[in-house]
Chains A and B, each alone.
Chain A
Amino acid sequence: MNKAHTEAFGVDPWKARIDRVFARALVLPLLLALGLLALLLGDTLYRSFSVQVVRADEGPGKTYPFGLSATETLRQDLLARGYTEEEVAFSLQDPKERQVLFLQNRVELMWNTQDGPFRYVVTGVYDERVADFSLAEGLRRWNELKANLKEGERLVLNPWLDQTFLTRTPSRSPLTAGIGVAIWGTVWVLSLALLLAIPVGIGTAILLEEYLREGRFSRVLEVNLRNLAGVPSIVYGLLGLALFVRGMGLGPTILAAALTLGLLGVPVIVVTAREALRAVPESLRLAAFALGATKRQVVFRVVVPAALPGMVTGVILSAARLIGEAAPLLLVGAAAYVPFMPTSPLSQYTVIPVQIYLWISQNQPEFARVAAAGILVMLMVLSVLYLLALYLRNHFRREW
């Protein structure tokens, strides 16, 4: 349309120039945003690798071939340290003992060691890091560093996001810190929160779209929802602290966190579910009524099934939003150091973003690398959710 108009009349050259400049300038924010995203991703990725000179004070710090499982590697390492077969088998079968063992030993997937590429390294918890170099500097000085290694020191390329990072418990030492507890905490909190938010959100959406006539009550509900959507998430945290943690005496537990997060998720789900319901054409409802269906049958057998893909997409997107929430959970007691996996709704917990926040606030610079690895994990989880939502949206898109 623009082009046709430009050529239909005589053109003032100045205006034409302004036009061109303006049209190009408009793409600037997009480029900036994309550049920022790329920088963010690149920096996180880059920072999650480092070259280290590590001195193992305990254990041989041996390397094991790539392809062994972490447990198998640890087993071989323990045997090499003089444990008997029975002791090792017992320790690795008992969950508590196993946890302690993994807490004390970091089984790392090292990309490169001075013994060759792609090896596992078992590192004692008492490892004293001699130096941590950024990827560029470390690789540049690789040969120099390798030549200067002292007795008992190893030169390693450390990918902080390795296999066992996903299953380890938090630790006060960056080398052995993992995100396992936070991942399970997130799974627990999120699924319980959705258990609350989905029925409430979708129920409210159905009520507003299918049942309520425009009137005072529907107006109150709508205004209230709009305001709730604008309440800062940290205020929900205060609500959770006063109501669930202290008021109901739940303490800093998964349940309290899930209730808080569930309430936070309701407005988002309502908005998306309403959109899905609104997209169902009127003719479908009329047809169902014409066949003699009751109101309930029309809504729950015709309209809701037709709107379901849209609703599911909306729920996935709100789940993605909720996964990233750290502020309210800091208030309802996501703890800094939870060494055990959650086992019930009344367990202590921590979640991924809170764990990342706590790592960022640590003084030791290596924790920034651990945080970077954690962020990569979170971004991976989020991209899976977004791709899923995108797939659902495209796969079930229907023209009425």
Chain B
Amino acid sequence: MEILKQRPSRHPAEVLTFVLLLLLSSVTLLTTLGVILSLLGDVVEFFRRVPLTEFLLAPEWTPLFANPRYGIAPLLAGTFLVTTIALLVAVPLGLMLAIYLSEYAESATRARVKGVLELFEGIPTVVFGYFALLVVTPLLQRVIPGLSIFNPLSAGLVMGFAIIPYISNVASDAMESVPRSIREAAYALGARPYEVALRVVFPAAISGIIAAIILATSRAVGETMIVAIAAGQRPALTLDPRETIATMTSYIVQAATGDQPTGSTAYYALFAVGFTLFALTLALNILAQWVVERYRERYE
């Protein structure tokens, strides 16, 4: 493979092709640069008006009030709450599915199940939001008294289902790459299939599994439409899953759909929240990659 790439050519047509491809791929680098610059400029402007201590410590997020407060804490609390609920659903179910796919399913079944998961992944999150608001919330309200119409509980539950494919895809890939010889060794020692799955394959693939969970977390933090529809848009510093809250993403949607005049502090606040979101998900993605590289078991 590598050897095929080592064919330098000075022929103008060859060079032109190469340059053209370089130009096309540079768009991806420019996108990153664009995201960072477009956010950073407005973020700097925001912090010129609002002190960093206010942003980090104030207990309220009320940019549109007469006396605005800009504390990110309520939005972080909301995001944390929804993400936690989603992970409580998605991690156990996703990992069970991954074990099923890699250890138990026949290859024909596996292909079919992966098809279903792909379908699940392809359902727009607007649809899941609709489902959370109009189906899941009324069902939950019968069981849980005092549940608001907009609540992080049903948004989180539905989002949990929506991110199952992300976990099971990555985790089952990791488990499938555990070599057959290790399984056979375990069987030779008299292990049962469940012991092989849980005590041999699972630990061997742990770095991939942890990466899968981190990636799903990042996905849940950045998910927008489900929370914007079903979790509400009232920033509150609470961890009570029955109360209406707002997440970072749902605040961005709310602020962007109500017209903010360019240049107002509320407009720049949009970018401050967006940057926090970007930094958080970027950190999670980098962490996931680091975990995979650092803790990967290498087999000959």
User: A239 touches which one: B6, B38, B123 (CB < 8 A)?
Assistant: B38
Known: A28-B96, A324-B123, A356-B130. A238 touches B24 (CB 8 A): no
Bound CA–CA A149/B224 (angstroms): 45
State whether B17 touches A296 (Cβ < 8 A).
yes
Bound CA–CA A336/B262 (angstroms): 20
Known: A29-B164, A324-B122. A270 touches B28 (CB 8 A): yes
State whether B252 touches A234 (Cβ < 8 A).
yes
B32 at the interface (CB under 8 A from A): yes
CB-CB contacts below 8 Å: A203-244 with B? 203-204, 206-208, 210-214, 220-221, 223-228, 230-239, 241-243
A43 at the interface (CB under 8 A from B): yes
State whether A228 touches B222 (Cβ < 8 A).
no
State whether A230 touches B31 (Cβ < 8 A).
no
Bound CA–CA A357/B41 (angstroms): 30
Bound CA–CA A300/B249 (angstroms): 42
State whether A19 touches B99 (Cβ < 8 A).
no
**Quick one: closest B residue to A11, CB to CB?**
B192
**In angstroms, how far is the closest chain B Cβ from the Cβ of A366?**
13
Bound CA–CA A360/B125 (angstroms): 13
**In angstroms, how far is the closest chain B Cβ from the Cβ of A297?**
10
A379 at the interface (CB under 8 A from B): yes
State whether A37 touches B14 (Cβ < 8 A).
no
State whether A360 touches B277 (Cβ < 8 A).
no
User: B14 touches which one: A223, A296, A331, A382 (CB < 8 A)?
Assistant: A296
B7 at the interface (CB under 8 A from A): yes
| Chain B: interface size category | 35 or more
* Chain B positions 22 through 57: 1 when the CB is less than 8 Å from some CB of chain A, otherwise 0: 101101110110110011011000000000000000
State whether A331 touches B192 (Cβ < 8 A).
no
Instruction: Give the total of A residues in contact with B, Cβ under 8 Å.
Output: 100
**In angstroms, how far is the closest chain B Cβ from the Cβ of A41?**
10
List residues of chain A with CB within 8 A of the CB of B278.
231-232, 235
List residues of chain B with CB within 8 A of the CB of A327.
125, 224-225, 228, 249, 253
List residues of chain A with CB within 8 A of the CB of B271.
238, 242
State whether A382 touches B122 (Cβ < 8 A).
yes
List residues of chain B with CB within 8 A of the CB of A203.
20-21, 24-25
State whether B24 touches A207 (Cβ < 8 A).
yes
State whether A247 touches B28 (Cβ < 8 A).
no
A18 at the interface (CB under 8 A from B): yes
State whether A324 touches B31 (Cβ < 8 A).
no
B2 at the interface (CB under 8 A from A): yes
State whether B21 touches A211 (Cβ < 8 A).
yes
State whether B24 touches A232 (Cβ < 8 A).
no
**Quick one: closest A residue to B230, CB to CB?**
A360
* Chain A positions 346 through 364: 1 when the CB is less than 8 Å from some CB of chain B, otherwise 0: 0000000100110011000
A242, A320, A382, A386: most-surrounded residue (chain B CB, <10 A): A242
List residues of chain B with CB within 8 A of the CB of A378.
124, 127
A162 at the interface (CB under 8 A from B): no
A33, A211, A379: most-surrounded residue (chain B CB, <10 A): A33
State whether A360 touches B253 (Cβ < 8 A).
no
* Chain A positions 11 through 53: 1 when the CB is less than 8 Å from some CB of chain B, otherwise 0: 0100110110011011111101110110110011001000000
Bound CA–CA A221/B26 (angstroms): 9
User: A37 touches which one: B5, B120, B194, B274 (CB < 8 A)?
Assistant: B120
Bound CA–CA A26/B101 (angstroms): 9
B93 at the interface (CB under 8 A from A): yes
List residues of chain A with CB within 8 A of the CB of B215.
230
Known: A226-B289, A324-B122, A371-B130. A6 touches B192 (CB 8 A): yes
State whether A247 touches B222 (Cβ < 8 A).
no
State whether A211 touches B29 (Cβ < 8 A).
no
State whether B135 touches A40 (Cβ < 8 A).
yes
List residues of chain A with CB within 8 A of the CB of B222.
231-235
B286 at the interface (CB under 8 A from A): yes
State whether A227 touches B39 (Cβ < 8 A).
no
State whether B100 touches A233 (Cβ < 8 A).
no
Bound CA–CA A233/B226 (angstroms): 13
B206 at the interface (CB under 8 A from A): no
List residues of chain B with CB within 8 A of the CB of A311.
none
State whether B225 touches A326 (Cβ < 8 A).
yes
List residues of chain A with CB within 8 A of the CB of B6.
213
List residues of chain B with CB within 8 A of the CB of A199.
24
State whether B135 touches A230 (Cβ < 8 A).
no
List residues of chain B with CB within 8 A of the CB of A336.
257
**In angstroms, how far is the closest chain A Cβ from the Cβ of B15?**
10
CB-CB contacts below 8 Å: A170-219 with B? 199-200, 203-204, 206-208, 210-214
State whether B277 touches A232 (Cβ < 8 A).
yes
B235 at the interface (CB under 8 A from A): no
User: A294 touches which one: B11, B27, B126, B262 (CB < 8 A)?
Assistant: B11
State whether B24 touches A282 (Cβ < 8 A).
no
User: A324 touches which one: B29, B125, B281 (CB < 8 A)?
Assistant: B125
User: B282 touches which one: A6, A12, A231, A263 (CB < 8 A)?
Assistant: A231
A98 at the interface (CB under 8 A from B): no
* A-B pairs with lowest CB-CB distance, top 3: A232-B222, A324-B124, A203-B24
Identify 6 residue pairs between A and B in the complex whose beta-carbon atoms are under 8 Å apart, listed by A's number.
A26-B99, A43-B131, A239-B34, A242-B38, A247-B38, A326-B224
Q: Known contacts A214-B2, A231-B278, A331-B252; can you find 11 more A-B pairs with CB under 8 A?
A: A15-B195, A40-B128, A226-B289, A228-B31, A242-B38, A266-B27, A289-B7, A295-B17, A327-B253, A330-B253, A382-B123
Contact surface of B with A, Cβ cutoff 8 Å: 1-2, 4-7, 9, 11, 13-14, 17-18, 20-22, 24-25, 27-29, 31-32, 34-35, 38-39, 41-42, 93-94, 96-97, 99-100, 104, 113, 115-120, 122-131, 133-135, 161, 164, 168, 187, 190, 192-195, 197, 215, 218, 221-225, 228-229, 249, 252-253, 256-257, 262, 270-271, 274, 277-278, 281-282, 284-286, 289
